[in-house]
Amino acid sequence: MFEIKIDKTSANQRADKFVRKYLNDAPLSFIYKTFRKKDVKINGKRIKENYILQENDVLRVYVTDEQLKEFNNPKKIEVLKANLDIIYEDQNVLILNKPKGILVHGDAEEKRITLTNLVQSYLYKKGEFKNDGVDFVPSPCHRLDRNTSGLVVFAKNLMTVQMITEKFQDHENIDKRYLLLVDGKIEKDGIIEAPLMKDADSGFVKVGSLKNGAKSAKTLYHVVWANKEYSLVEATLKTGRTHQLRVHFQYIGHPIMGDQKYGNFEANKKFKNMFDYDSQFLHAHSIEFHNLECELAYLNDKKFVATLGEIEQKIIEKIR
């Protein structure tokens, strides 16, 4: 049997999620069998798996010492060397300027050098992340594509990830802006409203109709400057669909430069020859929160900015 007193950082989550995290190597069937057998109790009383943990609850899970030894194996934290470009950090959040070429989360090809692993290693070395199976595992509140640079917000506790993730999902109380260089001259500011859907066969996102299952998508954009060949645009997401900016600007005839999936391939080839640059010119430039509550209210109306990389800045100087 193991017993844990729930503190403020572990409260407000489902009991089964907490137990699954603590017994991280246990099969799901074992976890839910433990609940069915009434071997999970709060303050001496049996609970269901969807019980929401409260601060100062005493959680007891009746497993053998052998099972505890077998199933409680927190992920090993590898000490990784990295120069994280930290824009802002406090007891709740860590905001980074992600470079191009690194994944936020791992995939089938890369599981080790990811932004999430680097952040967890950084906080582990600082002593802020215990990695004991109970402590909250620092997590990103949203994602960026591998080849998109810019701001990524990490949460250091459960309260933060729940509150900020919700803001990223509804886009009502967050201003998230990108800088992108697109093909051709855009004459004036505008709004793109075009529903998006993912093609199951090709994996491409495309503009579709709501009747056929596409989801509404809205992008606002402001032209920072433009010449005959290129436009530097600041875009604001009002929805958060996969590849939204890349597909929306392709849709209006101004694809993002260097985009190998949705771009103008002839223009990209010329651009690469001129600047030796073959990545999508897309950067998460700024984030500003509004109407955060309680412990995170101090972040309201603060604007966090990550400047363009040196390579991108030099390209813009040459183009202009």
**Which residue numbers are catalytic?**
145
Would you call 274 exposed, middle or buried from its count of C-beta atoms within 10 A (0-12, 13-18, 19+)? exposed
Q: What is the 3-state secondary structure (H, E, C) of the chain?
A: CEEEECCCCCCCCEHHHHHHHHCCCCCHHHHHHHHHCCCEEECCEECCCCCECCCCCEEEECCCHHHHHHHCCCCCCCCCCCCCCEEEECCCEEEEEECCCCCCCCCCCCCCCCHHHHHHHHHHHHCCCCCCCCCCCCEECCCCCCCCEEEEEEECCHHHHHHHHHHHHHCCCEEEEEEEEEECCCCCCEEEECCEEECCCCCCEEECCHHHCCECCEEEEEEEEECCCEEEEEEEECCCCCCHHHHHHHHCCCCECCCCCCCCHHHHHHHHHHHCCCCCCEEEEEEEECCCCHHHHHHECCEEECCCCHHHHHHHHHHC
Residue pair 14/158 in contact (Cβ under 8 Å)? The answer is no
Closest to 319 (Cα-Cα) out of 234, 242, 226: 226
State whether the Cα torsion 125-131-137-143 is positive or negative: positive
